[in-house]
Structure 1
Amino acid sequence: MKIAFVGKGGSGKTTLSALFIRHLAATGRPVIAVDADINQHLGPALGLTDRQAAELPSLGAHLPQIKEYLRGGNPRIASAEAMIKTTPPGSGSRLLRIVEENPVYAACARPVALDEGSVRLLVTGTFAEEDLGVACYHSKVGAVELLLNHLVDGGDEYLVTDMTAGSDSFASGLFTRFDLTFLVAEPTRKGVSVYRQYKEYARDFGVALRVVGNKVQSADDLAFLRREVGDDLLTAFGQSDWVRRLEQGAEPGLGELEPENRSALELLHAAVDAAFADRDPRRYADQAAHFHRRNAESWGNAKAGADLSEQVDPDFVLPDGRTVQEQAAAAV
């Protein structure tokens, strides 16, 4: 399962991403956490010190190595240098699985021990001094898109991504790479404006979107969200002393989280598992090809000096990560 958390800057999406990651890890499921926000705060939200977070290896710094590994023996890709962020897998490509060891994880993933369970953490990396004024952050986030294009995942294993704020996610096809997207919205006009914008952009791509209210302090706040968001509202989180303690540097156990907020996490988990039954591997492949062709025509061909649309293998679809039983249930 591939899950994204998006929302307005300051809405609390990183906090809720981290809470959900902790919840999944506490159930014993395998989890990969990905920090794809320009403000790299997911590590500290999972309990790392600032120093530990700063020492994490970045996906962006290992992009040539990632490309070389994923290229494998794909005859449609002449070299790792010919791969761009949208390059889809094809026959001969190496694929990634959540529960495995591989050179990409060895170079870029680091285990994070939680009070209940543990996760693998991947980070895109912060802006370096040489990036300022000459590069956009999406050049780093592109590594995440490349990984997700090559990821085979099942229904009882999870990859959770803390995305860039606002509508920045639409600067690439990354927004289509998830089974379910949670949009974190505060009960304010600005909070729901991001929801409307995101839903409008995602409408033509079959993006599964649910809204999670945050910083909801009263029945009036909840009524406002229901009025503005309608049936897309899944649940809401209120003020949390647990979160405040965590942000102050304490390490409270997940079992101490307020019961109402634990219940909200259970609703998120149930929604994710339900969304898995609706995944369509063919559509996933077609969307990857669509955005790759667009990027190739827009800038990739000029950069590579070749027609990168030829990298698309029209007959290739990622293996279905579902079990035989899950596939049978989805067909009913």
Structure 2
Amino acid sequence: MEDTVTRCDMDKAETDAKHILNQLGSLSSYLTGMGASAEKDSCFNLPLEIMRKAMAFDVSVLYEVSNVVDNWLILEITRVFDPIGYRSDLKEGEKLILDMDNPEGIYINEVKAYQSRKISHINVPNQGCDMMGFVYLPESLGGGYLFGGDYCGQESGVRDYEASVCEIMCNFLSTILIKTQLEQLAIFDSLTGLNNSRSIKEEVSRICNRFDRKTGAVATIALCDIDHFKAVNDTYGHIQGDLILKEVGEILSSSMRKDFDVAGRYGGEEFLLVLDGTQDSDTLDIIERIRRKIEGHAFGKADKAGNPIPGESLRITMSFGIAENRSEPEPCDALEWISRADRALYRSKRDGRNRTTLWGEALDNEDCQDCQETA
């Protein structure tokens, strides 16, 4: 009995209006501190915790709006906090298909929140009451979200200030999602998820600027591209080509040292890798591991519509050119640094592809000699 009383007192304290409103200050700091590199759904972690703990909802849930077809609302269940297991129908990764004209009682607030683009907390007899809010996101940035909580026990009423707090949180989330997604578009390539051409070039320039301030600094870049990529597009179509670019991006990204190395899509099927604090001999070992990994990887094959073909795959290879830069005796600028890597890549291509070449003055001298002999 004593435990029950203690729990009730705790719930009342946790759902006190002043306490809940104070959570908004923490949420504001949490959201504004998020950078463009944060995962898209991570901004919902604290709001979902506020729903379940501060407001004492039995369950909190996050849906991503996947699609709307005629009168059907398709939601993907992205996150569920349900420690007691009240809602066995909510499983992360699964999709709900809801009839917007005649929704089931248990999902009525999901439908109403989406239709009104506001907060919905309709009390459903014998099923308690949940509160659902709509988080707006333009279609070009991925569409919207629904998030909220569910009272599954005796408590079945949503207070006015709770609905107001949920609405404020939805507005916060919409603003921060749009901001971070626009920042990501400015930094990251939408197809591969790697840094885009502008930001990877800026990374090279940033390191070059550091050479002026720090003695003994060293870094290496590797320029690489997919061998015979035009033939892939011509034979299998551009959808297949895009799928290969995406997979290559995933391999490169997973092969980089976190917080040290950066991979970017330089343009088309070309990629630029920046390995900070690494000299060319060490970089050669790293790049050769990546090259062999790509050579042995089975890239998923798709039909002209982009649908996977079970049991079928494609093999591709990549060529690499590596160039080192040092603060001493005299570093080269960003343009020349990338040009050196490009010249080394050209040699890899000329020597048969699917190989790695280190830039050196001897390489340039050999190419000059070849040009004179050809002339």
TM-score computed with the length of structure 1 as normaliser: 0.23
Q: Where is the strand percentage greater, Structure 1 or Structure 2?
A: 2
Structure with more contact order per residue of length (Cα contacts < 8 Å, sep ≥ 6): 1
Q: Which has the larger radius of gyration?
A: 2
